[in-house]
Structure 1
Amino acid sequence: MRVHTLVVEIGSTITKVSAFSSLKEKNPRYLGKGIAKTTVDEGDVTKGLERAIDDLKNKLGADKLTWTHLFGNSSAAGGLKMTVHGLVLEMTAKAAKEAALGAGAIVKLITAGLITPYDLKKIEEIKPNIILLSGGVDFGEDRIVVENAKRLSTISIKPPVVFAGNRAVRDIVKDIFKSKGFKIYITENVYPEIDKLNIEPVRKVIQGVFEEHIIHAPGMEEIRNWVEGDIIPTPGAVMNSFMLLYKEIGDIMGFDVGGATTDVHSVTKGKKDKDSVVIYPEPIAKRTVEGDLGVYVSAKNVLDEIDPLNREEIEKKFKHLSPIPEKRSEVNLTKKLAEVCVKTALLRHVGEVRYLYTPTGKIKAIFGKDLRNVKWVVGTGGVFTHIPSMKTFLKRLFKNTENERLLLPENPKILIDKYYIFSAMGTISNLYPAGAKKLLLESLGFKDNLF
């Protein structure tokens, strides 16, 4: 059997292969998915990929499977680790962090102001895949930015550096890093003016650097030789799908619960209130990643969020927890973990209203991401695809909102990515935007693009 396109996802827990046909035509088709455990622990992730392809062949009833195109994304072996360095925590450092998260990174360290010897030590311990340096609005403060470049250039490791700061010092920063043997990438300022974010150019550069430099896990070099185009970070691929859907159906958010992390994506401008002020700007497309919340690799961390009375009983069950739950007891435990992951991640993602007292009186201020205009809430990932009651949980979650200060969606519609294709479609959305959009809408339950 020959298919048009395979999209491979090498995850931290699971390797998936999705098959598609007719992506350039009016009626693209999702054919099926093969799944296997990711084989980092066996020393070669290609083994997991081969098993996932075998699983796909079985599901398609094919003795042999060939393909015209193969594309990929990955979050294996820790994904994309980054450190982010800016000038002011709630301005350039925050903007740089948002760009890194939007690209699919796990941000291990954020600094603001002058980088200290302790910061340099932490960076060397983290061994980031990429360092993102920002700081200063265009033609504004430059002394600290240049000094930070000098200090970063002294570390013993040499990951690629992306500079997204004051454009007045681009050449100086570039020369500093090049003279010390670093690969340096210059892009637009992530915070060019006060209260203005410029996330997208930085996000794209980070994803390009990721593919060019990062081989995350044993066997990834071989997989990179198999695939066409860039291998992009899996969370960045998922964000691509949310951004594509935002253009079609409006304000949207979603949860992607994995074995190691729980990601929350939202694409919305928020709601404009005449009687409130926004304290710090937020990107339209925002991702938060909770590295301590997952249903397999990070499952024990979730115990801290669960009723302590159940802790001892659940810890016993963890010994039998499976990356691909099949027994009813495994499914029930995974569901309980996933519910905690979703609820906790939502509370960390959403913004809130606070009241501040100024010389002119009390003002209503908005801090963080305003989700009130979100019309659609999506569940993507294995727990939503394989555990039907998770849709009911999401409906209940957004009806039972006790804290009126939280800027949560108001009566959103709940959708499930039934084909489990958000990362796959986001990987190929630039090449096949019409086909990707149509299949995403179909996966969410829309018929003939009517919504």
Structure 2
Amino acid sequence: MQANLLVFDVGSTYTKLTAFQLEQGNLAFAGRSQAPTTIHDIETGILAARQILEQDGMAVTGNAKVFSTSSAAGGLRMVALGYMPRVTAKAAKEVAMSAGARVLEIVSHEDPPEYRLQVLQEIKPDIVLLAGGTDGGDRESMLENAGIIVRAKIKAVIIIAGNKEAQSQVAAIFSKHDVPYIRVPNVMPTIHELKVRPAREAIHEQFIKQITLAKGLNKLLDIVSNKKVMPTPGAVLLGAELLAKGTFQEDGVGDVLIIDIGGATTDIHSVLPDLEKLSIEEKGLIVNNEKQPSYRTVEGNLGLRVSATGIVETLGPLGVLAKIGYNSEELAEQLVAYSEFLEKNPEHIAQSPLEKKFDLALASSAIEVALKRHAGYIAQDFNPVMGIAPGTPVGRDLRRVSYVIAVGGIFTHGTREDKQFILAEAFKNPGISLLPLEPQFIIDEQYLLYALGALGSQYADSCSKFAKKYFQIKPKGE
């Protein structure tokens, strides 16, 4: 088979390459390869991955189009400044969801000005999301925060995304003090709606600029056909949306849940298309992320290598060992030592049977915690202020989700038995969490979801059609 579409994923450790053949609107998987990422000169790793693919017998056409995602530069460090803490948090998380940003701190008008200044100076963010006030609402908080940003003297790009009536004054303050900024429409023009795409696209542009600062990474933009490099988590989410929502020509399959576990983080994506149909009354007085059709959470302290100790600290060593049926203080000490070793040696591949068992326990533990943080829960107590009674579902309700797709290295390279074990253990004890009641586990064996997301902007129908066939899922209603 010949390949005429190539999709790279440049990670911190490995550069993956997925090849497709697109002919008359039909997409077919052609092959995949990977090579160590060469940060000193990104092109070396890219050429190595392509050479490995061709050595395996793959022919690449001369006019093949090239696309790429990347997580090699890490996420942009982001701080959000706003007026109301709960609203700012929702908007910031929604904006950062697929734009290649990590929200490190959220501060509001309730925090003392000196505290806000301290946060900016200590974190030294790459980007600041300056929100605050609905259109026609509060103006003072944005103006005050603009002054604090100037005082902080940080080297960050400011995304002005608050009350449109205050934006020109804020922009004037930044211009006077040579603070770089980008103006976008208000992320929350009314209390009932979030409009985050312009802010997300602005952050995405900053992500591309950042990765070009690293030596050699600028060559990515010379190689790709569309002159864009998409953040890898954003590509995974877009691939999930194509599968769940479909396109004008292709029906979607309905609700899907994506588990993406890596060495540094565990990401959970859920796409619930029916939430697009909610009325303003059903969304509630203030829109929240839990009722957005697409939602992503990132657990930065739950990873199988760089963040392995975070898993052990969260559940305790005995809690992790319980996943594999062990209960021993001696083994607990060995698990702690192993997790500490992994953080210092993230490229390590489990060698002994015990290390492999530890990896299974760490993976199922990380996924369980991440799922329960992503999903809502059944209230256990009265909350008269919020109008919540015991037994009331609170937060994101995933109980009707049928399809759970697992993505990540441990699901690409592990045995079928190990993959099913990890997922079964992670979902074994839902407790009060609103997790899928009858999940159907699907493994992204070839790690294609990111590639479908990267290709989706140009070949949406073909990617949607291919995804349903690849994951063996029929459209909703069939």
TM-score computed with the length of structure 1 as normaliser: 0.87
Equivalent residue in structure 2 for 1:424, among 441, 451, 465: 451
* Alignment correspondent of 1:350: 375
My pick for the range that moved more, 434-443 or 163-172, is 434-443
Distance 1:326 1:33, change over 3 A: farther
Alignment of 1:36-75 (within 5 A): 36-40=35-39, 43-60=40-57, 68-75=64-71
Q: In 2, distance between residues paired with 1:447 and 1:176?
A: 54
Given the alignment of the two structures, is residue 151 of structure 1 paired with residue 148 of structure 2, yes or no?
yes
Alignment of 1:63-102 (within 5 A): 68-102=64-98
Give the paired residue count. 442
Residue aligned with 1:377, SS: strand
Given the alignment of the two structures, is residue 263 of structure 1 paired with residue 262 of structure 2, yes or no?
no
* Alignment correspondent of 1:180: 177
Q: In 2, distance between residues paired with 1:29 and 1:429?
A: 14
* Alignment correspondent of 1:6: 6
Given the alignment of the two structures, is residue 374 of structure 1 paired with residue 411 of structure 2, yes or no?
no
- CA deviations over 1:6-50 (Å, ceiling 9, x no partner): 11111233221111111x63321111111123334xx34433333
* Alignment correspondent of 1:246: 244
* Alignment correspondent of 2:230: 232
Quote the offset at 1:341 in angstroms.
1.5
Q: In 1, distance between residues paired with 2:378 and 2:346?
A: 40
Equivalent residue in structure 2 for 1:161, among 158, 161, 165: 158
Given the alignment of the two structures, is residue 297 of structure 1 paired with residue 306 of structure 2, yes or no?
yes
* Alignment correspondent of 1:323: 347
Given the alignment of the two structures, is residue 25 of structure 1 paired with residue 21 of structure 2, yes or no?
no
Distance 1:376 1:154, change over 3 A: same
TM-score computed with the length of structure 2 as normaliser: 0.83
- The AA in structure 1 aligned to 2:400 is N
Alignment of 1:74-153 (within 5 A): 74-113=70-109, 116-153=113-150
Distance 1:168 1:76, change over 3 A: same
- CA deviations over 1:88-134 (Å, ceiling 9, x no partner): 11113322222212423211111111673343343344332321111
My pick for the range that moved more, 151-160 or 207-216, is 207-216
- The AA in structure 2 aligned to 1:323 is E
- The AA in structure 2 aligned to 1:17 is L
- CA deviations over 1:413-442 (Å, ceiling 9, x no partner): 222212211111111211111222123223
* Alignment correspondent of 2:324: none
CA RMSD of aligned residues (A): 3.1
Q: How many percent identity over aligned positions?
A: 34
* Alignment correspondent of 2:326: none
Distance 1:432 1:360, change over 3 A: closer
Quote the offset at 1:165 in angstroms.
1.2
Equivalent residue in structure 1 for 2:317, among 285, 296, 307: 307
Q: In 2, distance between residues paired with 1:44 and 1:316?
A: 34
- CA deviations over 1:219-277 (Å, ceiling 9, x no partner): 211222222321121111111111112211111111101111111111125699xxx99
* Alignment correspondent of 2:422: 393
* Alignment correspondent of 1:285: 294
Quote the offset at 1:346 in angstroms.
0.8
Quote the offset at 1:366 in angstroms.
4.8
Q: In 2, distance between residues paired with 1:416 and 1:26?
A: 25
Structure 2: any 5+ residue segments left out of the alignment? 246-251, 319-328
